[in-house]
């Protein structure tokens, strides 16, 4: 698909300087772009590189609007948001024609919307419902009574267990598992463990994106809940009965233990761990590799370290901690000098 620079500027609400008739067929970074592609500039450190780009047009922050670029320029207030819109234009969906592939299996009671796409080797079990415009790519297994909304994209290898409910405009990347059993076992007097049946399910609201190899456990009872706009990176563990608030983002390799509730607009760094049965206030910020062991009540709380402390407190403590060896040596010298003075 090809769009003129003028059309792109109009679509993203940008201000155009230069020839509006130039055709654009793709997008690339400053150092990789070639004729017919649009690139972008969002940082001062790439200004010189932007002058050498081979692109036919450039998307820039409005603060660069008066720079003398030699190619057509579209200036916007939020470069990354506008770039997302542009990349969507060139995101190919070739080979995803509506219909069920001849090598897919659909149970007789499964309902697939006319505009949905079901790829090869997919399994749709009894009672499954797939909404309009949803694309289920190859080798996806969808268990009994799963409901998936409209305009979702499910990549190859995803496994969705029974009774899961997924909203509209969701994206699940390869090898995501939704609805596997929560880690529930009752200890016995003889030291063994008895499995606690996990009879709940998972609810994923609209516009949620889940990265590759992430696992969302089903609830013991009730629901594990991901609210609207949640974004999860790759390799994340979400345990049973966890609730994640609207527009919360979590980076790779983080883990959330059972029954913890995250508020809206929280940000969790990579490899962070959050213990069970906590409640984290809206806009809580958790630095990478932190271990969170207590709830937060104040919106916007910042945590860092393991066990996690208030962010500014951690930085002050670390300034001392990293010099402990030197401090110990100085204390020993002082103790020796004090002992000599006493004697």
145 with 43, same domain? no
Query: What's the token pair of residue 89?
Result: 């234009």
Of 257, 249, 259, the C-alpha closest to 223 is: 259
Confidence of residue 43 (pLDDT cuts 50, 70, 90): confident
CATH classification of the domain holding 78 = 3.40.1390.10
Kindly state whether residue 340 falls inside one of the protein's structural domains: no
In angstroms, rounded to a whole number, what is the distance separating the alpha carbons of residues 47 and 180? Answer: 48
Query: What's the token pair of residue 117?
Result: 């796409």
In angstroms, rounded to a whole number, what is the distance separating the alpha carbons of residues 201 and 211? Answer: 20
CB 49 within 8 A of CB 28: no
167 with 250, same domain? yes
Which among 117, 139, 240, 265 is annotated as catalytic? Answer: 240
68 with 14, same domain? yes
In angstroms, rounded to a whole number, what is the distance separating the alpha carbons of residues 266 and 268? Answer: 7
Q: Three-state SS for 336?
A: helix
Which positions ≥6 away from 108 have C-beta within 8 Å? 126
Please say if the pLDDT value at position 308 is more than 80: no
Domain count within the chain: 2
Q: How many Cβ atoms from other residues are within 10 Å of residue 220's Cβ? A: 20
Q: Is the bond preceding 133 in cis, omega lying within 30 degrees of 0? A: no
- Residue 321 burial class via C-beta count within 10 angstroms: exposed 0-12, middle 13-18, buried 19 and up: exposed
Residue 319's pLDDT is 73
CATH classification of the domain holding 295 = 2.160.10.10
Q: Which residue, 41, 71, 89, sits at the end of a domain?
A: 89
Told to judge if 240 belongs to the known catalytic residues of this protein, a careful annotator would answer yes
CB 1 within 8 A of CB 89: yes
Kindly state whether residue 321 falls inside one of the protein's structural domains: no
Q: Which is more confident, 322 or 53?
A: 53
Q: Three-state SS for 105?
A: strand
53 with 172, same domain? no
Residue 93's pLDDT is 63
Domain of 155? 99-315
82 with 105, same domain? no
In angstroms, rounded to a whole number, what is the distance separating the alpha carbons of residues 117 and 201? Answer: 25
Query: What's the token pair of residue 285?
Result: 């910020």
Q: Which residue, 67, 89, 111, sits at the end of a domain?
A: 89
Of 261, 266, 303, the C-alpha closest to 278 is: 261
pLDDT, tens digit, for every residue of 231-275?
A: 999 999 999 999 999 999 999 999 999 999 999 999 999 999 999
Mean pLDDT of 326-342: 85
Q: Which is more confident, 137 or 66?
A: 137
Our CA angle for 30, 34, 39, nearest 5°, is 35
140 with 282, same domain? yes
pLDDT, tens digit, for every residue of 170-200?
A: 999 999 999 999 999 999 999 999 999 999 9
Query: What's the token pair of residue 38?
Result: 């649009």
């Amino acid at each position: 698909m090809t769009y003129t620079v003028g059309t792109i500027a109009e679509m993203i609400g940008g201000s155009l300087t230069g020839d509006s008739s130039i055709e654009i067929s793709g997008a690339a970074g400053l150092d990789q772009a070639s004729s017919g592609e649009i690139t972008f500039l969002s940082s001062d450190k790439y200004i010189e590189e932007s002058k050498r780009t081979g692109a036919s047009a450039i998307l820039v922050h409005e603060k660069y609007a008066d720079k003398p670029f030699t190619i057509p320029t579209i200036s916007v207030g939020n470069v990354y948001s506008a770039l997302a819109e542009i990349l969507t234009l060139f995101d190919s969906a070739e080979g995803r024609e509506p219909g069920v592939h001849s090598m897919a299996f659909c149970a007789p009671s499964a309902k697939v919307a006319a505009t949905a796409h079901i790829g090869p080797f997919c399994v749709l079990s009894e009672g499954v419902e797939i909404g309009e415009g949803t694309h289920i790519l190859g080798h996806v297994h969808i268990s009994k009574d799963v409901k998936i909304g409209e305009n979702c994209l499910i990549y190859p290898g995803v496994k969705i267990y029974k009774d899961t409910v997924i909203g509209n405009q969701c994206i699940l990347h390869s090898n995501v598992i939704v609805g596997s059993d929560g880690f529930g076992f009752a200890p016995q007097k003889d030291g063994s463990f008895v499995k606690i049946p996990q009879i709940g399910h998972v609810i994923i609201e609209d516009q949620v994106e889940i990265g590759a190899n992430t696992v969302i456990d089903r609830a013991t009872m009730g629901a594990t809940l991901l609210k609207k706009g949640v974004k999860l990176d790759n390799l994340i563990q979400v345990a049973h009965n966890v609730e994640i608030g609207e527009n919360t983002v979590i980076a790779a390799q983080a883990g959330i233990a059972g029954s913890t509730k995250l508020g809206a607009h929280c940000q969790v760094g990579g490899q962070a761990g959050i213990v069970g049965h906590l409640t984290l206030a809206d806009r809580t910020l958790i630095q990478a590799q932190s271990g969170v062991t207590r709830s937060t009540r104040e919106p916007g709380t910042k945590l860092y370290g393991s066990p996690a402390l208030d962010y500014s407190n951690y930085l002050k403590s670390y300034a001392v901690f990293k010099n402990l060896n030197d401090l110990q040596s100085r204390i020993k010298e002082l103790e020796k000098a004090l002992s000599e003075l006493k004697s």
